[in-house]
Amino acid sequence: MFVVALPVLVPLAGLALVVLLGRDDARARVLSVIATLATIAASVVLLLEWRGSDGILAWVAEGPSAVPVARLAADGLALPLVLLTALLGFVAVLASWTVTSRVRTHYALLLALQAAVTTVFLADDLVLFYVAWEAVLIPMFFLIGGWGHERRRHAAMKFFLYTFAGSALMLVGLLLIIFWGGGTTDLGAEVEALPTHVQTAVFWLLAAGMLVKLPVIGVHTWLPDAHTEAPTAGSVMLAGVLLKMGGYGLMRVAVPYAPQAFADAAWVLAVLGVGGIVYGAFLAFGQTDIKRLVAYSSVAHMGFVVLAIATGTALGYGAAMLGMVSHGLVAGLLFFLVGALYERTRTREMARLRGLVAAVPRWGGVFVFATLASLGLPGLSGFPGEFLTLAEAFSRWGGWIAVAGVGVVMAAVYGLAAVRRIGHGADAPEAACRDLTGREWLAAAVLGLPIVALGVAPGLVLSATERAFSALAAIGGGF
Amino acid sequence: MNVITAPAWLFWLPAAIALAAACAGLAADAAGRRAGALAIIFFGLAGAAGVAAYTAWMHPVQLALGDAFVVGRGFAGVAALGYLIAALGVLAGGSRLSRRSNGPGIGALMAFLAIASQALASALDLLSVLIALEIVAVGSYAVIAGARTDRSDEAAVRYFVQGAVATSLAVLGLALVHAFGGGAVDYGTLAVTMAQAPARPALLAMALLLAVFAFKLGAFPFHAWVPDAYETSEASGAAVLSSVPKVAALAAMFVLFRGAVFEADAFAVLANLAAALATASIVVGNLGALRQSSFARMLGYSGIAQVGYALIGLSAGDAGAGRAVLFGATYAVSVAAAFICAEALAVAEPRWNGTVAGMKGLGRRHPLIGVALAASMLSLTGIPLLIGFWGKLLVFLSAVGEGWTWLVIVGVIGSVVSFGYYGRVLKVAYFEEPDEALAVLGDEPGARGGSAAWAAAIAILLVIGGGVAPVAFGIEPMLRLLAVM
C-alpha cells in the first residue's frame, strides 16, 4: 500500500520544494505550511485506510534489489505516533514563523526532521530503522546549533554525542539480531527465539540507545541543555516526538526480540522509571528558567512511560502509548508557549515574569490549561496514561510504587508554583507584551483540542493499539 | 563450468588510458601548456575510471592475463575508485598546480599512483604486489615533497626513511616465502607451499608481510608518518595519498591473507593479530585526533583510527576481509572529499592557516564547500544517509557474525569519540560567526574555490548519493561495484 509511504514522502517533497523555490522567506514559510498540512492529511488518510485493514499495512519499494531496505509498515503501535508527528510538525512550522535568519534552511531542516522521525515509526526493516534513527540527529544537530540560544553550540554537541553514543551501542544490538536471525533484516520476521545470553546482550545494547533517547535518569543530562537551548520549533519536536522514539523502540524492537531478557530487566526499568518521576519532578521544582522547568518535567513524564513499559502487560503498553502521545501534545504546547513568550520578552527567568494571566490573558489561559494537563488533571490527556501506569505497576510490584506518588504530588507543586510565579502578582515590565496572535491561537488549538479529546476519551488511542499490544504482551509471557 | 570471461583488455585498458594521459600531459607541460596538461590528465583519469567502473558492473570476479591478475566486481571497482579520486585530486588541485612549474608533474604522479594501486589491488604474485607497493611509496614521497615547502621536504624524507625500513621488512618476508616456495612467487603455488612450510618461520613471514601492509595503511604501530604526510602535502595531493593506496592495500591484503597464501589453519592467529592492531589503531588514532588543531593533521590521526575499523574486518574471516575493502572504498570517498574541501578553501581563502579554528563561519561564506565538508565529516563519523555508514555497517555485521562482538563495541565507541573532532569541524564551520578579517574576502578572484569547487560538488554527489542510494535501491548495487568475493 503506497499510502503507508505518504507521511514520509510528503515532507520530503515539501523539503525539495522549499529548497528549490524557497529563495523568498515568505514563500518558504507558505510552502512549509502546505507541506505539513499535506502530511497531516496523508497521515489521516493512512489512519482511515488502516482502519479498514486487518491490522497492518505494509509497503515495499520497487527496486532492482532482491533485498530492499525501504520497507514500511503501519500498525496500531506506529500510527498514534505518526499522527502526533504530523501534528507537531505543523505546529513547529507555525512556531518558527518569526525566524529571520536562513529561513529556507531552517524549514528544510524541520521537514527533513519530520520525514526522518516518521520513518523511524514506520520502518519495517532493521537497517532502515537504524538509518532513520540516526538520520534524525543530523537536522536536529544543525537546528540546535544554528538557531538556538546562548549556549547552543555546547548543547548541540552534547545532544549529538550522548544520543550517538547510545545509538551506536544500539547498532551492535541490531547487528546481533540480524546475525542470529539468519541474516534477515525484516523487522517483523518470524525468527527463532534468541538464546538467553544473546537476549541479555541484545536487550541492554538496544536499551542503551533507547533509554538515552527517552531519557531515563542517569543518562538524561543532555535533555535539559538541548531542550532549553534549542529554538522553539526544535524544542517542540525534541520533546514532542524525538523522546518518543525511545519508548517506541523498546516496544517495537527490544521487547519482541528479547522478551526473556526484558522480563528479567523489568525491575531495573521500573526503578529507573520511578526514579525519573521523582527526580524530574524535584528538579523541575528547583528551576528558575521556565524552559528548563518544562524540560525537567519531561524527564518525569518519560519516567511514567518507562514504568508503564516495564509492567509488560497489554494495558501497561497502552498506558505508555497514552503517556507518550499526551506528553507529546502537552510538552509541545508548553514549549510553544514558552517560546512565544521568549520572543516577546527575551527572557525565560521566572523571577522577571509576573502577572502574565492578567497582562496577556489568552497566553495565560492557555498556559494554565497546558500546566493542568501536564500535572495530570482528570479530563485532560495527562491523567488516563499516568493513572493506568500507576494502577498496572501497583498490581505488578505492590506498595512501593507509592514512591512514584511523591512525583505525582510534586508535579502538581511545581506546575501550580510556576503558574503562581509567572501568572499572578504585580505586573513585571516584561509582562507588557502582545497577547497570542491568530497564528499562535491556531497552533495552540491544534494541540489543545486533542488534549481535551484524549482526556475525555482515552479509548481513541487504546482501541487503536489494543491488538498490537495484546500480541506484544503475549510474546513477553503476559504477567 | 559455464563462466563468461571478460576480455583481458578490460583489465589493462584503464591503466593504459591513464598512463597515456599522464605521458601526454607531461608532453604538453614540456610544450609550456600547464593548464592543458592538467586537463588532459584529468580527462584521461576520468575515462579510465569509467572503463573500470563498467568492468566492475558487468563482470564477476575472475582471473586474467594468465592468472597473474584478478579482475571484475570489487577489484575493478577499487581501480575505478582510484582513478576517480585521482581525477578529482587533479581537478581540485588544478587552480594551484597550474600556477606552478611542477604542477603537471604532480598531476602525472597522481595518475601513476592510481595505476600502481590498481596493480597492487589485483596482482596474484607476491613480487608484483611488492613492486606495486614500492611504486606507490615512491610516488607518495614525490607528491608530498611536491608541495615545495621546508616542512613537506622534511615529511617526505622522514616518510622515505621509515618506508625504507618497511621495504626491508618486505624483502625479508619475501625472502622467507621465496625460500619455502622453492623460487615460486605466484599465489597459486605459494598457497600450497606455505601450508606445508614449518609453522614458526611461516608465521614470521606472515607477520613481516602484515607489518609491511600495516605501514602502508598507517596502522598502529607504523602510523608515525601519517599526520606529517597529510599535513605538509598540498590538500589535493593528500586527497589521493590518504585514500587510493589504502583501498588498494586492503584489497591486496584480502587476496594475500584471506584468499590465497595464508589461508591455512596454521595462520589462524592472524585474526587475533589483526584485532590487536585494530584496537590499538582505534585508540591511538582517536585520542591523537582529539588533540589536533590542524585540519589535515586531524584527518591524519583519524585516518589511523579508520584503518582500525578496516582491520576489524580483516580479523573477521574471509567475508569480513572482503567487507574491509568495501569499507576502505567508502572511507576513501569520504576522506578524499574532506581534503578536496581543504583544497577548495585554500584556493578560496589563501590566508586560511589550515586550522579547524580558521574555518569559522565557513558554512555561510562558502555554502558549497560547507555542505561538502559537513557531508564528509558526517560520513567519516559513520552517520547514515552518507556513504561511510554502509562500509562500517557491513564490516561490523560480518565481525558480529564471527563472534567479535567486543571488537565491534570498541569500533562503535571509537566512532562516537570521533564525533568529538569531526563534529568540532561542523561546530566551527556552521555555528560560529566568521572573523571580521575573513568576512570581507567574498569578492576576491578565486573566492569560490575555482576548479576545486567543482571537485567538491562531485564529492558531495558521491558521499550523499552513495549513502542514500542503498536506502532507495537496496544495498546490492553497491556490492556489485565493490564486493571482492
- Whether the CB-CB separation of A167 and A215 falls below 8 Å is answered with no
Between CA A115 and CA A7 the distance in angstroms is: 7
Check B397 against A161: CB less than 8 A apart: no
Residue B481 has pLDDT above 70, yes or no: yes
β-bridge partners, B294:
B355
Q: Cell numbers 498490581 correspond to what residue?
A: A395
In a domain, A444, yes or no: yes
Cross-chain Cβ contact A179/B423 below 8 Å = no
How many whole angstroms separate alpha carbon B68 and alpha carbon A243?
Answer: 57
Q: Distance between CA atoms of A302 and A323, rounded to whole angstroms? A: 8
Per-residue pLDDT, averaged over B192-210, amounts to 86
- Give the residue from B250, B375, B233 showing the smallest Cα distance to B306: B250
Task: Determine whether the interchain pair B384/A135 forms a contact, defined as Cβ–Cβ distance below 8 Å.
Answer: yes
- Concatenating the DSSP letter of every residue in B90-141 gives HHHHHHHHTTSTTHHHHHHHHHHHHHHHHHHHHB-BHHHHHHHHHHHHHHHH
Say yes or no for a CB contact (<8 Å) between B401 and A179.
yes
Question: Which residues are within 8 A (CB) of A391 and not within 5 positions of it... i.e. 6 or more apart?
Answer: none
B469 Cα to chain A: minimum distance (Å): 10
Cβ <8 Å between A145 and B472: no
Instruction: Let me know if residue A445 belongs to a domain.
Output: yes
Beta carbons of B432 and A153 less than 8 Å apart: yes
Residue B322: closest CA among B215, B482, B211:
B482
CA distances from A257 to A74, A190, A261, A478 (A): 19, 10, 9, 15
Decide if A66 and B476 are in contact by the 8 Å CB cutoff: yes
User: Residue A16 is placed in which grid cell?
Assistant: 525539495
Domain for residue B3, yes or no? Answer: no
Mean pLDDT lowest for which of A120-124, B233-237, B255-259? B255-259
Check CB contact under 8 Å for A146 and B430: yes
* Contact between A131 and B389 using a beta-carbon 8 Å cutoff: yes
Question: Which of B289, B441, B303, B291 lies closest to B361 in space, CA to CA?
Answer: B441
Residue A478 confidence (pLDDT): 45
For residue A437, give the H/E element and its range: none
Q: Answer whether B473 touches A (CB < 8 Å).
A: yes
Asked if residue B164 belongs to a domain, the reply is yes
Contacts of residue A320, defined as CB under 8 A and 6 or more positions apart, other chains included, come to A247, A251, A305, A308, A309, A385, A389
pLDDT higher than 90, residue B301? yes
Most B-contacting residue of A8, A65, A124 (CB-CB within 10 A), to test interface: A65
Positions in chain A short of pLDDT 70: 63-67, 476-479
Total domains, chain A: 1
Torsion, Cα of B34, B36, B38, B41 (10° steps): -140
Rounded distance between C-alpha atoms, residue B45 and residue B37, angstroms: 12
Distance from CA of A60 to the nearest CA of B (A): 10
Q: Quick check: B115 pLDDT over 90?
A: yes
Residue A316 lies in a domain: yes
Question: What was the pLDDT predicted at A422?
Answer: 87
Interface probe, candidates B356, B359, B400, chain A, greatest A C-beta count within 10 A: B400
In angstroms, the separation between the Cα of residue B367 and the nearest Cα of chain A is: 11
Establish if A40 belongs to a structural domain: no
CB pair distance less than 8 Å for B475 and A164: no
Is B21 in a helix, a strand, or coil?
helix
Q: What percent of chain B has pLDDT over 90?
A: 64
Contact in structure between A185 and A127 (CB atoms under 8 Å): yes
- Report the residue of chain A nearest B432, measured CA to CA: A153
Q: What integer pLDDT is reported at residue B438 of this predicted model? A: 55
- Which of B385, B412, B471 minimises the CB distance to A168? B412
CA A181 vs CA A177, A199, B395: distances in Å: 6, 12, 18
Q: Give the 3-state secondary structure of residue B62.
A: strand
pLDDT digits (tens, 9 = 90+) for B206-231: 899 999 999 999 998 889 899 999 99
Reading the block at residue A450, the C-alpha cell is 486533542
Dist. CA B210–CA B169, nearest whole Å: 10
Residue B309: which residues within 8 A CB-CB, separation 6 or more? B278, B282, B327, B331, B391, B392, B395, B411, B414, B415
Q: Are B315 and B271 in contact (CB under 8 A)?
A: yes
What is each CA distance from B105 to B34, B142, B154, B203, in whole angstroms? 9, 10, 20, 41
Q: Give A387-424 pLDDT, tens digit per residue.
A: 999 999 999 998 888 899 898 999 999 999 999 988 88
Nearest by CB to A135, from B385, B424, B470: name it. Answer: B385
The mean per-residue pLDDT over the stretch B347-358 comes to 90
Q: Which of B419, B431, B471 sits opposite A164 (nearest CB)?
A: B419
Measure the CA–CA gap between B210 and B166, rounded to whole angstroms.
Answer: 11
Q: What is the pLDDT of residue B447?
A: 66
Does B422 lie at the interface with A, CB-CB under 8 angstroms?
no
Classify the C-alpha dihedral B382-B384-B387-B389 as positive or negative.
Answer: positive
Q: B431 vs A160: CB contact, 8 Å cut-off? A: no
Q: How many domains does chain B have?
A: 1
Q: Considering the entire predicted model, what is its pTM?
A: 0.94
CA B249 to chain centre: 8
- B471 inside 8 A of chain A by CB: yes
Domain extent, residue B14, equals 8-481
Closest approach of chain A CAs to the CA of B470, in angstroms? 7
Residues 6 or more apart whose Cβ sits within 8 Å of residue A265: A203, A204, A207
Q: What is the rounded average pLDDT of the residues B441-462?
A: 78
Structural domain includes residue B39? yes
For the purposes of burial, counting CB atoms within 10 Å of the CB of B66, is it exposed (0-12), middle (13-18) or buried (19 or more)?
A: exposed
Residues A384, B9: Cα–Cα separation, whole Å: 73
Q: Which residues of B touch A145 (CB under 8 A)?
A: 426-427, 430-431
The number of beta carbons lying within 10 Å of the beta carbon of residue A397 is 17
Q: Mean pLDDT for chain B?
A: 90
Predicted pLDDT at B4: 52
Which of A131, A142, A172 comes nearest B430 by C-beta?
Answer: A142
Q: Contacts for A372-377 with beta carbons within 8 Å, 24 or more apart?
A: A372/A415, A373/A326, A373/A329, A373/A330, A373/A333, A373/A451, A373/A455, A374/A297, A374/A301, A374/A330, A374/A331, A374/A334, A374/A411, A374/A415, A375/A411, A375/A412, A375/A415, A375/A416, A376/A408, A376/A411, A376/A412, A377/A455
Domain that holds residue A473: 264-479
Whether B405 and A172 lie within 8 Å, measured CB to CB: yes
Nearest to B473 among A63, A130, A135 (CB): A63
Side chain identity at residue A341, one-letter code: L
CA-wise closest residue to A113 among A158, A77, A146: A146
The alpha carbon torsion through B23, B26, B30, B36 (nearest 10 deg) reads 110
pLDDT of residue A479: 47
Sign of the alpha-carbon torsion through A169, B332, B247, A70:
positive
Distance CA B238, CA B343 (A): 9
| Strands B62-64 and B69-71, sheet pairing | antiparallel
* B198 cis-preceded (ω within 30 degrees of 0): no
CA atoms of A155 and A125, how far apart (whole Å): 31
B408 closest CB neighbour out of A64, A138, A172: A172
Q: Would the CB atoms of A63 and B472 count as touching at under 8 Å? A: yes
Q: How far apart are CA B227 and CA B158, in angstroms?
A: 12
d(CA A322, CA B161): 68
Q: Is A323 within 8 Å of A264 (Cβ atoms)?
A: no
What secondary structure letter does DSSP report for A58?
Answer: E
- Return d(Cα B285, Cα B223) in angstroms, integer: 9
Whether A382 is covered by a domain: the verdict is yes
Query: If you average pLDDT over residues B277-296, what whole number do you get?
Result: 95
- pLDDT band for position B9 (50/70/90)? confident
Which residues of chain A make contact with B396, given a CB cutoff of 8 A? 171-172, 175
Which residue is listed with cell 519499494?
A61
Look at A161 and B415 and tell me if their CB atoms are within 8 Å: no
Strands B69-71 and A71-74: unpaired
Nearest to B412 among A128, A138, A172 (CB): A172
Residue A284 CA to residue A421 CA, distance in Å, equals 14
Q: Does B367 touch chain A (CB under 8 A)?
A: no
Q: Do B419 and A153 touch (CB under 8 A)?
A: no
In chain B, which residue's Cα lies nearest the Cα of A201?
A: B405
C-alpha cell at A197: 545470553
* B400:A179 CB<8 A: yes
* Residue contact B476–A138, C-beta within 8 A: no
Predicted confidence (pLDDT) per residue in B27-38, tens digit: 999 998 999 999
Q: Report if residue B346 sits inside a domain.
A: yes
In a domain, A390, yes or no: yes
Q: Is residue B287 part of a domain?
A: yes
- Provide the CA A194 distance to its chain's centre, in angstroms: 30
Residues 6+ apart with CB under 8 A from A44: A83
C-alpha cell recorded at residue B375:
557531508
